[in-house]
Structure 1
Protein backbone atom coordinates (compact mmCIF):
# COMPACT_ATOMS: atom_id res chain seq x y z
CA UNK A 1 0.00 0.00 0.00
CA UNK A 2 1.39 3.39 -1.01
CA UNK A 3 0.80 6.48 1.14
CA UNK A 4 1.18 9.87 -0.54
CA UNK A 5 1.64 13.14 1.33
CA UNK A 6 1.51 16.38 -0.72
CA UNK A 7 3.77 19.12 0.62
CA UNK A 8 1.73 22.28 1.36
CA UNK A 9 3.22 25.78 1.00
CA UNK A 10 3.72 26.17 4.75
CA UNK A 11 5.98 23.08 4.82
CA UNK A 12 8.28 24.31 2.03
CA UNK A 13 11.91 23.84 3.02
CA UNK A 14 11.22 21.52 5.97
CA UNK A 15 13.56 18.60 6.56
CA UNK A 16 11.95 15.36 5.46
CA UNK A 17 12.15 13.94 9.00
CA UNK A 18 10.22 16.93 10.34
CA UNK A 19 7.67 16.75 7.53
CA UNK A 20 7.07 13.07 8.26
CA UNK A 21 6.53 13.86 11.92
CA UNK A 22 3.97 16.50 10.89
CA UNK A 23 2.25 13.81 8.84
CA UNK A 24 2.04 11.52 11.91
CA UNK A 25 4.54 8.98 10.56
CA UNK A 26 5.88 7.32 13.70
CA UNK A 27 9.61 6.91 14.30
CA UNK A 28 9.16 3.13 14.30
CA UNK A 29 7.42 3.18 10.91
CA UNK A 30 9.97 5.58 9.44
CA UNK A 31 12.78 3.21 10.43
CA UNK A 32 10.93 0.22 8.98
CA UNK A 33 10.40 2.06 5.67
CA UNK A 34 14.06 3.08 5.58
CA UNK A 35 15.65 -0.24 6.49
CA UNK A 36 13.08 -2.85 5.43
CA UNK A 37 10.92 -1.11 2.84
CA UNK A 38 11.08 0.98 -0.30
CA UNK A 39 12.49 4.10 1.35
CA UNK A 40 11.01 7.57 0.92
CA UNK A 41 10.43 9.24 -2.43
CA UNK A 42 9.83 12.76 -3.68
CA UNK A 43 7.99 12.24 -6.94
CA UNK A 44 10.24 9.90 -8.89
CA UNK A 45 13.40 10.43 -6.85
CA UNK A 46 14.49 8.88 -3.54
CA UNK A 47 14.88 11.36 -0.69
CA UNK A 48 16.77 11.06 2.60
CA UNK A 49 15.56 12.20 5.99
CA UNK A 50 18.03 15.09 6.14
CA UNK A 51 16.92 16.56 2.78
CA UNK A 52 14.42 19.39 2.45
CA UNK A 53 11.01 19.01 0.88
CA UNK A 54 9.50 21.51 -1.53
CA UNK A 55 5.96 22.84 -1.75
CA UNK A 56 4.01 20.99 -4.43
CA UNK A 57 6.02 17.79 -4.13
CA UNK A 58 4.42 14.45 -3.38
CA UNK A 59 6.31 12.58 -0.68
CA UNK A 60 5.40 8.91 -0.72
CA UNK A 61 6.39 5.50 0.54
CA UNK A 62 5.16 1.93 0.48
CA UNK A 63 4.04 0.48 3.79
CA UNK A 64 6.34 -2.44 4.70
CA UNK A 65 4.76 -5.84 4.15
CA UNK A 66 3.04 -7.39 7.16
CA UNK A 67 3.56 -10.94 8.38
CA UNK A 68 1.03 -13.72 8.16
CA UNK A 69 -0.83 -12.90 11.38
CA UNK A 70 -2.77 -15.53 13.33
CA UNK A 71 -4.44 -18.61 11.84
CA UNK A 72 -7.49 -17.56 9.79
CA UNK A 73 -10.82 -19.04 10.89
CA UNK A 74 -13.71 -18.01 8.61
CA UNK A 75 -16.23 -19.63 10.95
CA UNK A 76 -15.56 -17.01 13.65
CA UNK A 77 -18.23 -14.25 13.49
CA UNK A 78 -16.85 -10.86 12.52
CA UNK A 79 -19.30 -7.98 12.26
CA UNK A 80 -17.74 -4.76 10.99
CA UNK A 81 -19.82 -1.69 11.84
CA UNK A 82 -17.34 0.85 10.42
CA UNK A 83 -14.40 0.65 8.03
CA UNK A 84 -12.16 2.97 6.03
CA UNK A 85 -8.61 2.77 4.68
CA UNK A 86 -7.09 3.11 8.15
CA UNK A 87 -9.58 1.87 10.76
CA UNK A 88 -12.10 -0.89 11.24
CA UNK A 89 -14.54 -1.25 14.14
CA UNK A 90 -15.86 -4.71 14.99
CA UNK A 91 -18.89 -5.43 17.17
CA UNK A 92 -17.78 -8.36 19.32
CA UNK A 93 -20.31 -10.75 20.87
CA UNK A 94 -19.78 -11.91 24.46
CA UNK A 95 -17.91 -15.15 25.20
CA UNK A 96 -15.37 -14.50 22.41
CA UNK A 97 -11.75 -13.64 23.25
CA UNK A 98 -10.27 -10.71 21.31
CA UNK A 99 -6.92 -12.30 20.48
CA UNK A 100 -5.12 -15.60 21.07
CA UNK A 101 -3.66 -16.27 24.49
CA UNK A 102 -2.23 -19.29 26.26
CA UNK A 103 -5.77 -20.31 27.23
CA UNK A 104 -7.38 -19.40 23.90
CA UNK A 105 -4.86 -20.14 21.10
CA UNK A 106 -7.68 -20.27 18.52
CA UNK A 107 -11.35 -19.29 18.16
CA UNK A 108 -10.80 -15.57 18.80
CA UNK A 109 -11.90 -12.37 17.12
CA UNK A 110 -8.40 -12.02 15.69
CA UNK A 111 -8.73 -15.38 13.92
CA UNK A 112 -12.01 -14.32 12.35
CA UNK A 113 -10.53 -10.97 11.35
CA UNK A 114 -7.56 -12.68 9.70
CA UNK A 115 -9.92 -14.80 7.60
CA UNK A 116 -12.02 -11.80 6.59
CA UNK A 117 -9.05 -9.71 5.48
CA UNK A 118 -7.17 -12.56 3.83
CA UNK A 119 -10.23 -13.32 1.68
CA UNK A 120 -10.16 -9.69 0.50
CA UNK A 121 -6.45 -9.72 -0.26
CA UNK A 122 -5.66 -7.31 2.59
CA UNK A 123 -3.29 -7.58 5.53
CA UNK A 124 -4.56 -10.20 8.02
CA UNK A 125 -2.52 -8.74 10.89
CA UNK A 126 -4.88 -7.73 13.71
CA UNK A 127 -3.93 -4.47 15.47
CA UNK A 128 -6.59 -3.83 18.13
CA UNK A 129 -6.45 -0.32 19.54
CA UNK A 130 -8.64 -1.32 22.47
CA UNK A 131 -9.09 -4.77 24.00
CA UNK A 132 -12.13 -5.91 25.90
CA UNK A 133 -12.50 -8.99 28.07
CA UNK A 134 -13.75 -12.27 26.63
CA UNK A 135 -17.15 -11.94 28.28
CA UNK A 136 -17.51 -8.20 27.61
CA UNK A 137 -19.43 -7.35 24.46
CA UNK A 138 -19.22 -4.41 22.09
CA UNK A 139 -16.92 -2.35 19.96
CA UNK A 140 -13.29 -3.14 19.22
CA UNK A 141 -11.33 -0.60 17.17
CA UNK A 142 -8.45 -1.94 15.09
CA UNK A 143 -5.88 -0.23 12.88
CA UNK A 144 -5.59 -1.65 9.38
CA UNK A 145 -1.91 -0.83 8.97
CA UNK A 146 1.21 0.27 10.80
CA UNK A 147 0.71 3.92 9.92
CA UNK A 148 -2.75 4.10 11.48
CA UNK A 149 -2.02 2.16 14.68
CA UNK A 150 -0.26 4.88 16.74
CA UNK A 151 -2.45 7.59 15.22
CA UNK A 152 -5.65 5.91 16.40
CA UNK A 153 -4.26 4.82 19.77
CA UNK A 154 -3.71 8.36 20.97
CA UNK A 155 -7.15 9.79 20.19
CA UNK A 156 -9.81 7.13 20.86
CA UNK A 157 -12.55 7.80 23.43
CA UNK A 158 -14.86 5.03 24.69
CA UNK A 159 -18.23 4.79 26.39
CA UNK A 160 -19.34 1.62 28.18
CA UNK A 161 -22.66 0.55 29.63
CA UNK A 162 -22.42 -1.43 32.86
CA UNK A 163 -25.21 -2.96 34.92
CA UNK A 164 -24.14 -2.92 38.56
CA UNK A 165 -25.71 -4.49 41.62
CA UNK A 166 -27.65 -2.15 43.91
CA UNK A 167 -29.67 0.98 43.18
CA UNK A 168 -27.37 3.98 42.99
CA UNK A 169 -28.59 7.61 42.88
CA UNK A 170 -29.35 8.84 39.38
CA UNK A 171 -26.86 11.29 37.94
CA UNK A 172 -23.13 11.72 37.57
CA UNK A 173 -20.35 10.27 39.68
CA UNK A 174 -16.62 9.63 39.68
CA UNK A 175 -14.48 6.81 41.02
CA UNK A 176 -10.87 7.94 41.29
CA UNK A 177 -8.81 5.17 42.88
CA UNK A 178 -5.49 3.50 41.97
CA UNK A 179 -5.63 -0.02 40.54
CA UNK A 180 -2.99 -2.73 40.80
CA UNK A 181 -2.69 -6.52 40.75
CA UNK A 182 -4.30 -8.65 43.40
CA UNK A 183 -1.69 -10.44 45.49
CA UNK A 184 -0.61 -13.74 43.95
CA UNK A 185 -3.10 -13.36 41.07
CA UNK A 186 -2.24 -13.17 37.38
CA UNK A 187 -5.74 -12.06 36.34
CA UNK A 188 -7.31 -10.22 39.25
CA UNK A 189 -6.95 -6.52 39.94
CA UNK A 190 -7.90 -4.42 42.95
CA UNK A 191 -7.91 -0.90 44.31
CA UNK A 192 -4.63 -0.47 46.17
CA UNK A 193 -2.48 2.50 47.26
CA UNK A 194 0.40 0.96 45.29
CA UNK A 195 -1.61 0.83 42.05
CA UNK A 196 -1.59 3.08 39.01
CA UNK A 197 -3.79 6.21 38.98
CA UNK A 198 -7.22 5.26 37.61
CA UNK A 199 -10.34 7.34 37.01
CA UNK A 200 -13.82 6.29 35.87
CA UNK A 201 -16.51 8.89 35.23
CA UNK A 202 -20.07 7.59 35.10
CA UNK A 203 -23.74 8.56 34.91
CA UNK A 204 -26.45 6.40 36.49
CA UNK A 205 -29.25 6.29 33.91
CA UNK A 206 -31.64 3.78 35.49
CA UNK A 207 -31.95 2.21 38.94
CA UNK A 208 -34.58 -0.43 39.72
CA UNK A 209 -35.02 -4.16 40.45
CA UNK A 210 -31.91 -3.96 42.64
CA UNK A 211 -29.73 -2.94 39.69
CA UNK A 212 -28.34 0.25 38.17
CA UNK A 213 -27.42 1.05 34.59
CA UNK A 214 -24.27 3.15 34.38
CA UNK A 215 -22.85 4.91 31.33
CA UNK A 216 -19.10 4.82 32.00
CA UNK A 217 -16.15 6.70 30.54
CA UNK A 218 -12.82 5.16 31.59
CA UNK A 219 -10.57 8.22 31.60
CA UNK A 220 -7.61 5.91 32.15
CA UNK A 221 -7.41 2.47 30.59
CA UNK A 222 -6.44 0.01 33.31
CA UNK A 223 -7.16 -3.71 33.08
CA UNK A 224 -10.68 -4.48 34.39
CA UNK A 225 -10.98 -0.82 35.40
CA UNK A 226 -14.77 -0.43 35.38
CA UNK A 227 -15.27 -3.82 37.01
CA UNK A 228 -12.74 -3.15 39.78
CA UNK A 229 -13.90 0.40 40.46
CA UNK A 230 -17.55 -0.48 40.97
CA UNK A 231 -16.65 -3.53 43.05
CA UNK A 232 -14.51 -1.25 45.24
CA UNK A 233 -17.56 0.86 46.19
CA UNK A 234 -19.68 -2.19 46.97
CA UNK A 235 -21.53 -2.37 43.64
CA UNK A 236 -19.92 -5.09 41.51
CA UNK A 237 -21.17 -5.66 37.99
CA UNK A 238 -24.02 -8.13 37.65
CA UNK A 239 -22.62 -11.51 36.61
CA UNK A 240 -19.04 -10.56 37.50
CA UNK A 241 -18.22 -13.35 39.94
CA UNK A 242 -14.50 -12.55 39.74
CA UNK A 243 -15.19 -9.35 41.68
CA UNK A 244 -18.13 -10.40 43.83
CA UNK A 245 -21.04 -10.10 41.43
CA UNK A 246 -23.81 -12.69 41.24
CA UNK A 247 -24.54 -14.83 38.18
CA UNK A 248 -28.11 -15.41 39.25
CA UNK A 249 -29.50 -13.03 36.60
CA UNK A 250 -26.83 -13.07 33.88
CA UNK A 251 -24.02 -15.49 33.06
CA UNK A 252 -21.31 -12.95 32.29
CA UNK A 253 -20.18 -9.55 33.52
CA UNK A 254 -22.82 -7.02 32.39
CA UNK A 255 -20.46 -4.76 30.47
CA UNK A 256 -20.77 -3.49 26.90
CA UNK A 257 -18.54 -1.12 24.91
CA UNK A 258 -21.28 0.96 23.31
CA UNK A 259 -19.56 3.93 21.67
CA UNK A 260 -16.18 4.88 20.29
CA UNK A 261 -14.99 8.23 19.03
CA UNK A 262 -11.76 8.69 17.13
CA UNK A 263 -10.23 10.66 14.28
CA UNK A 264 -8.87 9.46 10.94
CA UNK A 265 -6.86 11.33 8.30
CA UNK A 266 -8.64 13.09 5.47
CA UNK A 267 -7.71 11.13 2.36
CA UNK A 268 -8.73 10.09 -1.13
CA UNK A 269 -8.17 6.84 -2.97
CA UNK A 270 -6.25 7.29 -6.23
CA UNK A 271 -4.81 4.87 -8.80
CA UNK A 272 -1.37 5.60 -7.34
CA UNK A 273 -2.30 4.98 -3.70
CA UNK A 274 -3.88 6.64 -0.67
CA UNK A 275 -3.42 10.39 -0.89
CA UNK A 276 -3.52 12.15 2.48
CA UNK A 277 -5.18 15.46 1.68
CA UNK A 278 -4.39 17.21 4.98
CA UNK A 279 -1.71 16.68 7.65
CA UNK A 280 -3.36 14.38 10.25
CA UNK A 281 -1.87 16.23 13.21
CA UNK A 282 -3.60 19.45 12.08
CA UNK A 283 -6.77 18.29 10.36
CA UNK A 284 -8.64 15.01 10.52
CA UNK A 285 -12.15 13.59 10.32
CA UNK A 286 -14.10 12.76 13.48
CA UNK A 287 -15.81 9.37 13.56
CA UNK A 288 -18.40 8.15 16.06
CA UNK A 289 -19.48 4.49 16.07
CA UNK A 290 -22.23 3.07 18.29
CA UNK A 291 -23.42 -0.39 19.29
CA UNK A 292 -26.87 -0.97 20.83
CA UNK A 293 -27.30 -2.50 24.26
CA UNK A 294 -27.30 -6.30 23.79
CA UNK A 295 -30.39 -8.39 24.60
CA UNK A 296 -29.03 -9.98 27.78
CA UNK A 297 -28.34 -6.57 29.35
CA UNK A 298 -31.71 -5.20 28.26
CA UNK A 299 -33.43 -8.23 29.77
CA UNK A 300 -32.10 -7.35 33.22
CA UNK A 301 -34.60 -4.48 33.26
CA UNK A 302 -37.41 -6.27 31.41
CA UNK A 303 -37.23 -3.68 28.62
CA UNK A 304 -34.68 -1.46 26.93
CA UNK A 305 -33.58 0.89 29.74
CA UNK A 306 -32.23 3.41 27.26
CA UNK A 307 -35.64 4.03 25.71
CA UNK A 308 -37.38 5.01 28.94
Structure 2
Protein backbone atom coordinates (compact mmCIF):
# COMPACT_ATOMS: atom_id res chain seq x y z
CA UNK A 1 0.00 0.00 0.00
CA UNK A 2 2.83 2.40 0.81
CA UNK A 3 4.18 2.09 -2.74
CA UNK A 4 1.01 3.48 -4.30
CA UNK A 5 0.82 7.14 -5.36
CA UNK A 6 -1.09 9.53 -3.16
CA UNK A 7 -4.73 10.10 -4.10
CA UNK A 8 -7.13 12.53 -2.48
CA UNK A 9 -9.96 11.79 -4.84
CA UNK A 10 -13.17 9.88 -4.07
CA UNK A 11 -12.61 6.41 -2.67
CA UNK A 12 -14.54 3.64 -0.96
CA UNK A 13 -15.84 4.93 2.39
CA UNK A 14 -13.36 4.19 5.15
CA UNK A 15 -16.23 3.83 7.60
CA UNK A 16 -17.26 0.54 5.94
CA UNK A 17 -13.81 -0.96 6.61
CA UNK A 18 -13.95 0.37 10.17
CA UNK A 19 -17.33 -1.34 10.79
CA UNK A 20 -16.06 -4.61 9.30
CA UNK A 21 -12.98 -4.58 11.55
CA UNK A 22 -15.14 -3.90 14.60
CA UNK A 23 -17.41 -6.84 13.76
CA UNK A 24 -14.39 -9.13 13.34
CA UNK A 25 -13.03 -8.03 16.73
CA UNK A 26 -16.39 -8.56 18.44
CA UNK A 27 -16.66 -12.03 16.91
CA UNK A 28 -13.01 -12.90 17.56
CA UNK A 29 -13.74 -15.69 20.14
CA UNK A 30 -16.39 -17.13 17.81
CA UNK A 31 -13.93 -17.09 14.90
CA UNK A 32 -11.38 -18.93 17.02
CA UNK A 33 -13.96 -21.55 17.96
CA UNK A 34 -15.11 -21.94 14.36
CA UNK A 35 -11.66 -22.52 12.87
CA UNK A 36 -10.69 -24.85 15.71
CA UNK A 37 -13.74 -26.97 14.87
CA UNK A 38 -12.70 -27.24 11.21
CA UNK A 39 -10.55 -30.27 10.63
CA UNK A 40 -8.95 -28.86 7.46
CA UNK A 41 -8.51 -25.24 8.51
CA UNK A 42 -5.27 -23.67 7.18
CA UNK A 43 -2.46 -23.71 9.75
CA UNK A 44 -1.68 -20.06 9.02
CA UNK A 45 -5.18 -18.98 10.11
CA UNK A 46 -5.09 -21.19 13.21
CA UNK A 47 -1.67 -19.81 14.17
CA UNK A 48 -2.90 -16.27 13.66
CA UNK A 49 -6.02 -16.68 15.77
CA UNK A 50 -4.18 -18.44 18.60
CA UNK A 51 -1.54 -15.71 18.90
CA UNK A 52 -2.67 -12.86 21.15
CA UNK A 53 -0.13 -10.51 19.57
CA UNK A 54 -2.04 -10.95 16.31
CA UNK A 55 -5.20 -9.90 18.14
CA UNK A 56 -3.32 -6.80 19.30
CA UNK A 57 -2.47 -6.07 15.67
CA UNK A 58 -6.15 -6.32 14.73
CA UNK A 59 -7.02 -3.80 17.46
CA UNK A 60 -4.19 -1.52 16.38
CA UNK A 61 -5.41 -1.63 12.78
CA UNK A 62 -8.92 -0.85 13.96
CA UNK A 63 -7.78 2.12 16.06
CA UNK A 64 -5.53 3.43 13.27
CA UNK A 65 -8.38 3.24 10.75
CA UNK A 66 -10.65 5.04 13.20
CA UNK A 67 -8.04 7.81 13.54
CA UNK A 68 -7.75 7.98 9.75
CA UNK A 69 -11.50 8.57 9.50
CA UNK A 70 -11.11 11.75 11.53
CA UNK A 71 -8.30 12.90 9.19
CA UNK A 72 -10.22 12.22 5.97
CA UNK A 73 -11.13 15.35 3.99
CA UNK A 74 -14.72 16.40 4.55
CA UNK A 75 -17.27 16.18 1.76
CA UNK A 76 -17.30 19.99 1.54
CA UNK A 77 -13.51 20.04 1.11
CA UNK A 78 -13.55 17.31 -1.56
CA UNK A 79 -15.96 19.44 -3.57
CA UNK A 80 -13.30 22.16 -3.80
CA UNK A 81 -10.00 20.38 -4.37
CA UNK A 82 -7.69 23.36 -4.80
CA UNK A 83 -4.00 22.68 -4.29
CA UNK A 84 -3.89 25.03 -1.29
CA UNK A 85 -6.57 22.92 0.42
CA UNK A 86 -4.64 19.73 -0.34
CA UNK A 87 -1.39 21.21 0.97
CA UNK A 88 -3.08 22.30 4.21
CA UNK A 89 -4.74 18.91 4.71
CA UNK A 90 -1.53 16.98 4.03
CA UNK A 91 0.39 19.20 6.44
CA UNK A 92 -2.21 18.61 9.19
CA UNK A 93 -2.20 14.88 8.50
CA UNK A 94 1.58 14.69 8.71
CA UNK A 95 1.65 16.62 12.00
CA UNK A 96 -0.90 14.24 13.53
CA UNK A 97 1.10 11.21 12.43
CA UNK A 98 4.28 12.73 13.87
CA UNK A 99 2.50 13.22 17.20
CA UNK A 100 1.29 9.62 17.17
CA UNK A 101 4.77 8.38 16.34
CA UNK A 102 6.33 10.44 19.17
CA UNK A 103 3.78 9.07 21.67
CA UNK A 104 3.87 5.57 20.09
CA UNK A 105 0.08 5.70 20.09
CA UNK A 106 -1.48 2.22 20.18
CA UNK A 107 -4.64 2.48 22.26
CA UNK A 108 -5.56 1.13 25.69
CA UNK A 109 -6.97 -2.15 24.33
CA UNK A 110 -3.68 -2.95 22.60
CA UNK A 111 -1.69 -2.10 25.73
CA UNK A 112 -3.92 -4.33 27.86
CA UNK A 113 -3.24 -7.27 25.52
CA UNK A 114 0.50 -6.56 25.47
CA UNK A 115 0.54 -6.47 29.29
CA UNK A 116 -0.03 -10.26 29.27
CA UNK A 117 2.78 -10.96 26.81
CA UNK A 118 6.48 -11.57 27.34
CA UNK A 119 8.79 -8.57 27.13
CA UNK A 120 10.61 -9.60 23.88
CA UNK A 121 7.28 -9.88 22.05
CA UNK A 122 6.15 -6.53 23.39
CA UNK A 123 9.37 -4.84 22.27
CA UNK A 124 9.05 -6.32 18.78
CA UNK A 125 5.45 -5.10 18.60
CA UNK A 126 6.40 -1.57 19.68
CA UNK A 127 9.21 -1.45 17.14
CA UNK A 128 6.79 -2.56 14.43
CA UNK A 129 4.34 0.19 15.42
CA UNK A 130 7.17 2.73 15.24
CA UNK A 131 8.12 1.42 11.79
CA UNK A 132 4.48 1.64 10.70
CA UNK A 133 4.26 5.33 11.58
CA UNK A 134 7.62 6.01 9.93
CA UNK A 135 6.36 4.34 6.75
CA UNK A 136 3.17 6.44 6.73
CA UNK A 137 5.11 9.68 7.25
CA UNK A 138 7.68 8.78 4.56
CA UNK A 139 4.86 7.99 2.16
CA UNK A 140 3.25 11.38 2.74
CA UNK A 141 6.55 13.21 2.38
CA UNK A 142 7.34 11.42 -0.88
CA UNK A 143 4.00 11.93 -2.60
CA UNK A 144 3.17 15.38 -1.23
CA UNK A 145 6.42 17.07 -2.26
CA UNK A 146 4.64 18.73 -5.20
CA UNK A 147 2.49 20.67 -2.71
CA UNK A 148 5.47 22.18 -0.89
CA UNK A 149 5.25 25.50 -2.74
CA UNK A 150 1.57 25.82 -1.83
CA UNK A 151 2.18 26.01 1.93
CA UNK A 152 2.91 29.75 1.69
CA UNK A 153 -0.66 30.24 0.42
CA UNK A 154 -2.34 28.73 3.49
CA UNK A 155 -3.41 32.22 4.60
CA UNK A 156 -5.76 32.38 1.60
CA UNK A 157 -7.97 29.81 3.36
CA UNK A 158 -8.85 32.68 5.76
CA UNK A 159 -8.87 30.50 8.86
CA UNK A 160 -7.21 33.47 10.58
CA UNK A 161 -6.71 37.13 9.59
CA UNK A 162 -3.76 37.22 7.14
CA UNK A 163 -0.33 38.42 8.27
CA UNK A 164 2.04 40.33 6.04
CA UNK A 165 4.91 37.81 6.37
CA UNK A 166 2.69 35.07 4.92
CA UNK A 167 1.45 37.31 2.12
CA UNK A 168 5.01 38.38 1.32
CA UNK A 169 6.02 34.74 0.89
CA UNK A 170 3.10 34.27 -1.49
CA UNK A 171 4.09 37.39 -3.41
CA UNK A 172 7.60 36.01 -3.82
CA UNK A 173 6.22 32.70 -5.13
CA UNK A 174 3.77 34.30 -7.58
CA UNK A 175 6.45 36.69 -8.89
CA UNK A 176 8.79 33.77 -9.59
CA UNK A 177 6.09 31.67 -11.28
CA UNK A 178 4.48 34.53 -13.24
CA UNK A 179 7.22 37.07 -14.03
CA UNK A 180 4.97 38.91 -16.51
CA UNK A 181 2.37 39.67 -13.82
CA UNK A 182 3.08 42.93 -12.01
CA UNK A 183 1.90 43.25 -8.40
CA UNK A 184 2.37 46.57 -6.64
CA UNK A 185 3.82 45.67 -3.25
CA UNK A 186 2.83 48.97 -1.60
CA UNK A 187 -0.77 48.69 -2.75
CA UNK A 188 -0.81 45.00 -1.78
CA UNK A 189 0.16 45.85 1.81
CA UNK A 190 -2.74 48.30 2.11
CA UNK A 191 -5.14 45.80 0.56
CA UNK A 192 -4.04 43.07 2.99
CA UNK A 193 -4.61 45.51 5.85
CA UNK A 194 -8.17 46.04 4.58
CA UNK A 195 -8.70 42.28 4.36
CA UNK A 196 -7.35 41.84 7.89
CA UNK A 197 -9.69 44.51 9.24
CA UNK A 198 -12.73 43.03 7.48
CA UNK A 199 -12.04 39.41 8.47
CA UNK A 200 -11.30 40.06 12.15
CA UNK A 201 -15.03 39.98 12.98
CA UNK A 202 -16.09 37.61 10.22
CA UNK A 203 -14.00 34.45 10.71
CA UNK A 204 -16.04 33.23 13.67
CA UNK A 205 -19.27 33.54 11.68
CA UNK A 206 -17.73 31.84 8.64
CA UNK A 207 -16.45 28.95 10.75
CA UNK A 208 -19.87 28.52 12.32
CA UNK A 209 -21.51 28.37 8.86
CA UNK A 210 -18.66 26.17 7.48
CA UNK A 211 -18.19 28.63 4.63
CA UNK A 212 -15.38 27.58 2.24
CA UNK A 213 -12.50 29.87 1.37
CA UNK A 214 -13.71 30.76 -2.14
CA UNK A 215 -17.05 31.98 -0.77
CA UNK A 216 -15.24 33.97 1.93
CA UNK A 217 -13.16 35.75 -0.69
CA UNK A 218 -16.23 36.33 -2.87
CA UNK A 219 -17.91 38.06 0.06
CA UNK A 220 -14.82 40.18 0.74
CA UNK A 221 -14.38 41.28 -2.88
CA UNK A 222 -18.09 42.02 -3.27
CA UNK A 223 -17.99 44.22 -0.16
CA UNK A 224 -14.80 45.96 -1.30
CA UNK A 225 -16.29 46.60 -4.74
CA UNK A 226 -19.40 48.23 -3.25
CA UNK A 227 -17.28 50.31 -0.89
CA UNK A 228 -14.70 51.24 -3.57
CA UNK A 229 -11.90 49.55 -1.59
CA UNK A 230 -8.96 48.49 -3.83
CA UNK A 231 -8.24 44.76 -4.03
CA UNK A 232 -6.76 44.07 -7.48
CA UNK A 233 -3.32 42.99 -6.20
CA UNK A 234 -4.52 40.63 -3.49
CA UNK A 235 -7.06 39.25 -5.98
CA UNK A 236 -4.21 38.16 -8.28
CA UNK A 237 -2.62 36.10 -5.51
CA UNK A 238 -5.96 34.59 -4.52
CA UNK A 239 -6.74 33.67 -8.12
CA UNK A 240 -3.35 31.98 -8.43
CA UNK A 241 -3.88 30.00 -5.21
CA UNK A 242 -7.47 28.97 -5.88
CA UNK A 243 -7.13 28.03 -9.55
CA UNK A 244 -4.50 25.33 -9.02
CA UNK A 245 -6.25 21.95 -8.62
CA UNK A 246 -5.25 19.62 -5.81
CA UNK A 247 -6.00 16.52 -7.91
CA UNK A 248 -6.81 15.73 -11.52
CA UNK A 249 -10.31 14.54 -10.53
CA UNK A 250 -11.96 17.76 -11.71
CA UNK A 251 -10.25 17.51 -15.11
CA UNK A 252 -11.31 13.88 -15.48
CA UNK A 253 -14.87 14.86 -14.58
CA UNK A 254 -14.88 17.52 -17.33
CA UNK A 255 -13.76 14.94 -19.92
CA UNK A 256 -16.46 12.55 -18.70
CA UNK A 257 -19.17 15.21 -18.96
CA UNK A 258 -17.88 16.23 -22.38
CA UNK A 259 -18.06 12.65 -23.68
CA UNK A 260 -21.58 12.28 -22.33
CA UNK A 261 -22.66 15.54 -23.99
CA UNK A 262 -20.74 15.41 -27.27
CA UNK A 263 -22.09 12.08 -28.53
CA UNK A 264 -22.21 10.64 -32.04
CA UNK A 265 -25.83 11.72 -32.29
CA UNK A 266 -24.79 15.33 -31.49
CA UNK A 267 -21.60 15.45 -33.55
CA UNK A 268 -22.46 18.84 -35.06
CA UNK A 269 -22.51 20.51 -31.64
CA UNK A 270 -20.36 23.66 -31.78
CA UNK A 271 -17.44 24.22 -29.44
CA UNK A 272 -18.93 27.39 -27.97
CA UNK A 273 -22.23 25.64 -27.26
CA UNK A 274 -20.40 22.67 -25.72
CA UNK A 275 -18.37 25.06 -23.57
CA UNK A 276 -21.52 26.81 -22.35
CA UNK A 277 -23.18 23.48 -21.51
CA UNK A 278 -20.15 22.27 -19.57
CA UNK A 279 -19.84 25.54 -17.63
CA UNK A 280 -23.50 25.26 -16.65
CA UNK A 281 -23.21 21.60 -15.64
CA UNK A 282 -20.05 22.12 -13.58
CA UNK A 283 -20.95 25.34 -11.78
CA UNK A 284 -24.51 24.49 -10.71
CA UNK A 285 -25.38 21.76 -8.22
CA UNK A 286 -28.82 21.15 -9.70
CA UNK A 287 -31.76 22.46 -11.72
CA UNK A 288 -33.26 24.29 -8.73
CA UNK A 289 -30.11 26.39 -8.25
CA UNK A 290 -29.95 27.16 -11.97
CA UNK A 291 -33.65 28.15 -11.97
CA UNK A 292 -33.14 30.45 -8.97
CA UNK A 293 -30.21 32.13 -10.71
CA UNK A 294 -32.26 32.67 -13.90
CA UNK A 295 -35.29 34.10 -12.08
CA UNK A 296 -33.16 36.78 -10.41
CA UNK A 297 -31.24 37.72 -13.56
CA UNK A 298 -33.66 39.87 -15.57
CA UNK A 299 -31.10 40.88 -18.22
CA UNK A 300 -30.36 37.22 -18.97
CA UNK A 301 -34.08 36.43 -19.18
CA UNK A 302 -34.47 39.21 -21.75
CA UNK A 303 -31.70 37.70 -23.85
CA UNK A 304 -33.30 34.24 -23.58
CA UNK A 305 -36.67 35.58 -24.85
CA UNK A 306 -35.03 37.64 -27.60
CA UNK A 307 -33.93 36.50 -31.04
CA UNK A 308 -30.38 35.88 -29.84
CA UNK A 309 -29.31 32.31 -30.58
CA UNK A 310 -27.21 31.98 -27.44
CA UNK A 311 -27.61 33.96 -24.23
Relative to the length of structure 1, the TM-score reads 0.24
Q: Mark the structure with the bigger radius of gyration.
A: 2
Structure with greater proportional strand content: 1
Structure with greater proportional helix content: 2
Bigger RCO (CA 8 Å, 6+ sep): 2
Relative to the length of structure 2, the TM-score reads 0.24
